[in-house]
Amino acid sequence: MYINREISWLEFNQRVLNQAHRQDLPLLERIKFLSISASNLDEFFQVRVGGLVLLWQTGKFKPDITGLSPGEQLERIRHRADAMVAEQYALLQEELMPLMQASGISPLAMEELTETQHAALEEYFLTQVAPLLTPLSMETEPAPVLPNLNLILAVELQAEDAAGSRFVSVTLPEGMPRRIHSSALDKGDYVMLEDLAASFIHLLFPGEQVLCTTPFRVTRNGDIAVAEEEGGDFAREMESVLVARQFSDCVRLELPATAPKALAKRIAAAVGAGAHATYRVPGFLRLVDFGRMAFEPGNDHLKIEAWTPNWPAAVDPSLSMFENIAQGDILIHNPFESYEPVVKLAEEAAEDPDVIAIKQVLYRTAPDSRFIAALCRAAESGKQVTVLVELKARFDERLNLAQAERLQRSGVQVVYGVKGYKTHAKILLIVRREYGMLRRYCHIGTGNYNENTARIYSDLSLLTCDENLGADASQFFNSVTGQTRLMQFRRIYPSPAMMKARLLDLIAAETRRAAEGHRAEIRAKMNSLNDVEMMDALEAAAEAGVRIRLNIRGICCWAPTSEKARACTRIVSIVDRYLEHARLFSFHNGGNPLVYMASADWMRRNLERRVELLVPIEEPELAARVTDILDACFRDNTQAAEMNPDGSYSPSTNKKKPFAMQAAMQRAARRRTRSREHANLRVLQPHRPRASK
């Protein structure tokens, strides 16, 4: 049975929201999950709803795999999103806000302030806020285009001698904190920026009366693709896409439920939002801002206990990364283990006089990326540095353009991806001269080269100097920079050329074994599943008796159809403190398991329209670690939700001793580190002769 992709995604976001309902979690952790669910909806409306609106507007009514037209999907999305937004605000108003108030972290209403505090905040507004505001008359034709996702204050004004009123918008500055603290308030107290602005906005309009105000927020279509013209300037074309997004259609208008009807009507008309795109909410807009409280200093009693990343046991900090990797392949599971060795490898490569060349793919980087800094230093020191910067990384395009320009100024050879495809592979190749020969060191990962997200995303990194993988890495870079076909690899299976075929072959092999009466099993961990061929292959495998275990965090468009297939299949989703991001696969293979890690989900876009990598984990100890991760996915009975036959999800029904996958991974990483530390201590102990009898 196929499940609609958009509804499946909304059900994933429901699982995120469910974490905010958990009364066993500290308050700020619950607020964090509420804000994540709101942030997820922002991107969903920009990309998925935006894309469907474009199809609907252009009259493209081709149904999806479930038979739903774009219009029918939009109708279902509206119904489901309405219920989700109502649940978000009911939770906020009825449960979280009272707890915030009891904990002393709720916002103050302007009406609660004393005259002295009110006067102090008026001065703050005049000196710190008002100079940043730009009122725009919305009475012009056409009305000004308002920014995407910003908080905007709508103001209805009337002059003393005017018969009617006029409508002005004031965009609140993004550079200011949403929660305004002041020395005039008690420690920890704050007011909301929009409340502050609404109270003193009349100071910007002398001679006019403010009849009413309301904050609002516009979400614009972000599903605008770059036109990859032959011989065109790709960077300039991407800049045009960024400009186009600023002027794209409104796909969602958010207003407080208390917004006056007449003003709300004028806002909707000005931004081009119909009733189907208007959401009235009973509370503060842009809930994502509240989640920042969970990451700010203080209020530790309202947060979950922090987990410190463990130093990877396989990495000796007294040795260089090249010396460490030369001793054998290294597998790092961040953030349970520190991502620092990966960054350290890049930084050592930049400084090492024996390193001749560095090649790397960058998809999403940190704004202050240490990888970018290392690559720049390497190029400036005369090393050959080639970097593929993927400009089509949605919503990171502007940062990637800036990073590419910085790299080019340092002398790095920058390549802007592969025409017609998005390059999503995560790979770093370092060529080093050793003993008169050239040796290749590689990092291949499931996550981006981003030291910030490596602290909150769960991913795997493989560090190796294996000759075959090194040769494949060279072949990969030669193919993507030289625009040749991705073929003739020894161990790696890239998409779009080889990965899907390999995965289908592996599934087919398990299906044949099951049909012959042998044990057959597939275990997979990924973010999303929606490729029809992959789903049909899984259906056939389950029907043949293959034991299938899938851990799919987000979208899953397949539910087994027959009773036999359902009996052989278990699909779970885990939402916990870290975002599960690694893609891992294991095939029983007649008792000699084949284990892989990948940058790709089992989605058509990843397997057919992106450049991705599927890499075997062949070293037995490392393969066993990947197997342990997969085992933990299906043992989890505290954070796991199980898919029901209709595609909905329910909490795990496994009532055995409580087991949480991520807590188990943290404990395992700690045990490995301590075991290494104890081994080192034993080596360092001085020899003590036995006492004579």
Q: Say if 321-488 and 495-679 have the same CATH topology.
A: yes
Q: Tell me: pLDDT of 227 over 60.
A: no
What is the percentage of the chain residues whose pLDDT exceeds 70?
95
Q: Tell me: pLDDT of 305 over 70.
A: yes
Q: What is the pLDDT of residue 212?
A: 96
- Give residue 650's Cα distance to chain centre: 24
More reliable by pLDDT, 170 or 61: 170
CA distance 634 to 221: 38
Q: Which residues pair with 387 in a beta bridge?
A: 360, 414
Q: Tell me: pLDDT of 138 over 60.
A: yes
Mean pLDDT of the chain: 93
Q: What is the pLDDT of residue 231?
A: 44
Angle at 632 (CA atoms; ends 611, 673), nearest 5 degrees? 90
The confidence band for 23, taking pLDDT boundaries of 50, 70 and 90, is very high
Q: Tell me: pLDDT of 439 over 90.
A: yes
Q: What is the pLDDT of residue 569?
A: 98
> Residues 6 or more apart from 9 whose CB is under 8 A from it?
44, 48, 554, 555
Q: How does DSSP assign 423-437, residue by residue?
A: E---EEEEEEEETTE
Q: What is the pLDDT of residue 499?
A: 97
The least confident of 117-126, 231-240, 301-310, 492-501 is 231-240
Query: Phi and psi dihedrals of 177, rounded to 5?
Result: -65, 150
Specify the 3-state DSSP secondary structure of 192: strand
Q: What is the pLDDT of residue 398?
A: 87
The confidence band for 141, taking pLDDT boundaries of 50, 70 and 90, is confident
Q: Tell me: pLDDT of 325 over 90.
A: yes
CA distance 524 to 506: 12
The confidence band for 687, taking pLDDT boundaries of 50, 70 and 90, is very low
Q: What is the pLDDT of residue 246?
A: 72
Is the pTM of the predicted complex or chain greater than 0.85? yes
Let me know if 424 is a catalytic residue. Answer: yes
Q: Tell me: pLDDT of 692 over 50.
A: no
More reliable by pLDDT, 460 or 144: 460
Q: Quick one: average pLDDT of 402-431?
A: 94
Enter the CATH code of domain 1-107+284-304.
1.20.58.310
- Name the active-site residue from 181, 202, 301, 424: 424
> Residues 6 or more apart from 642 whose CB is under 8 A from it?
570, 571, 572, 649, 650, 651, 652, 653
The secondary structure of the chain in percent helix, strand, coil, rounded to multiples of 5, reads 45, 20, 35
Secondary structure string (H, E, C) spanning 33-68: HHHHHHHHHHHHHHHHHHHHHHHHHCCCCCCCCCCC
Q: What is the pLDDT of residue 528?
A: 98
Q: What is the pLDDT of residue 230?
A: 46
Give the tens place of pLDDT for each residue, 247-279: 788 999 999 999 999 999 999 999 999 999 999
Task: Give me the residue label for tokens 């002769």.
Answer: 689
Q: Are 433 and 405 in contact (CB under 8 A)?
A: no
Angle at 455 (CA atoms; ends 374, 364), nearest 5 degrees? 55
The highest-level CATH class for domain 495-679 is alpha beta
Q: Tell me: pLDDT of 197 over 90.
A: yes
CA distance 643 to 572: 6
Confirm or reject CATH 3.30.1840.10 for domain 113-278, answering yes or no.
yes
The confidence band for 224, taking pLDDT boundaries of 50, 70 and 90, is low
Best CATH choice for the domain 321-488 from the list 3.10.20.600, 3.30.930.10, 3.30.870.10, 3.40.50.300: 3.30.870.10
Nearest to 638 by CA among 617, 653, 619: 653
Q: Quick one: average pLDDT of 220-245?
A: 63
Q: Tell me: pLDDT of 286 over 50.
A: yes
Q: 597: part of which helix (H) or strand (E)?
A: strand 594-598
Query: Phi and psi dihedrals of 323, rounded to 5?
Result: -65, -40
Give the neighbor-by-neighbor strand order of the sheet with 208-220.
Answer: 135-137, 166-171, 152-159, 208-220, 250-256, 278-281
Q: Tell me: pLDDT of 507 over 80.
A: yes
The least confident of 153-162, 259-268, 628-637 is 153-162
Q: Tell me: pLDDT of 548 over 90.
A: yes
Q: Where are the domains of the chain?
A: 1-107+284-304, 113-278, 321-488, 495-679
Q: Quick one: average pLDDT of 349-361?
A: 98
The confidence band for 113, taking pLDDT boundaries of 50, 70 and 90, is very high
Question: Where are the alpha helices (H) located in 232-282, listed in sequence order?
Answer: 234-246, 261-271
